[in-house]
Structures are given as C-alpha cells and as structure tokens.
Homo-oligomer: A and B are copies of this chain.
Amino acid sequence: MTNIIKKQTGAAFRIKKGQRLKVTDPEGQQVSDMVLFNAEDTREKISSGKTLDFEESILISRGNFLWSNRSRKMMEILEDTNGRNDFLLAPCSPETFQIMYNNPHYHPSCFENLYTNLSQYDIAPDDIPTAFNIFMNVQFDKNGKLSVDPPLSKPGDFVLFEAKMDLIVALTACSAEDSNNGSFKPILYEVMD
C-alpha cells in the first residue's frame, strides 16, 4: 500500500526488522527528512556522526548503512535511483526560517512535523537528531562551504531501505523553500515484507 505524505506534513510509523521501506518523490525536486528510533528503546536513534564515521563518506547512498548512536546498523540502502542525499544539516525548524530566511511569521517545518508525529511514541522535540535528508542536494566545495541546491530527483525517483532492527520511522515532505526549489510537493512511502 502506498501512503501519501501531503506537502509540508509528516508521518510516523513502525516497521519490523527485515521489512523494506520505499520512499518516493512523485513529482521531483522534493526532499524528505527521515529519523529512526529503535522501537524497543527509543534512546537508541539514528546518528549522522556514527554513520559518516563507519561509512567513511559524507555522501550516503546505495550499499551504505544508517547507524545508531549505539554503533548498530539501523537500515541498509538497497537502491537509490537519484543518488544524492544529505546527512549534514539539521531538519528545518521554526528558527531556520527566522534566522536564515529572516521570516518572523509562523512557517511549517520538518522539525515540527517530526515531533508532532513522534509524540505518539513519547518522543520529545529535544530527542530528535539530525535527520537523513533524502533527495536533499547539499553541495560542498573543497573549503567546506555548503550550499543548498535544488534537488536532482526526477518524478518517480526513490530510495529503498531495509530495516536491520525493529524501528520507529518518521518522514516528512520538507517545508523549506530553498531545499525544494521553491515549491512544496508530496512524498510517498510504502512498507513491504
């Protein structure tokens, strides 16, 4: 069954070890932030620092694993038709729009969409780590300067993950203008045995 995450919203759900998760960008140029928690003990969670360390790469794609703060494998990336994901930048939050966009008004954010959907699992805002930013196109130069460019994903591009433990997964359809080339679109996901 394909589930739709409407533009600028999110979802959270459980998947079992061995199940696969397919995250699809149906219209192209749309980012999805993903965080993972051990379903049996949510103090264990996805870790950018551990993943970049064990995978020895800033770019994480097919063949790489996503690791937890307890140095255990949470997911493997089986397929990645786009091939560009970010694991450097935190989910956009209300402060992102205040500080980086100079926008003092309310703005939907991945951070809000993650914590509101994760509250059913007793996961608090402060518990949310740096997300794995699927389809996000963060470029870096040799001096480390970062730029957020339009996603390279085309309609129908997807990333296929396999769970290596029972997981709580949260996903968003990202709410930040600069990350999605200025327009907001849905994200699709499917859980398969």
Contact = CB atoms under 8 A, between A and B. Distances in A.
Interface of A: 43-44, 47-50, 52-54, 56-59, 69-71, 88-91, 93, 95-96, 99-100, 124, 126, 128-131, 140, 142-147
A89 to B, nearest CB: 4
Contact of A54 (B52, B100, B143): B100
Interface of A (DSSP majority class): loop
B49 A130 contact: yes
Among A47, A48, A49, A54, the one with the most B-chain Cβ atoms within 10 Å of its Cβ is A49
A126 B88 contact: no
B130 A54 contact: no
A126 B95 contact: no
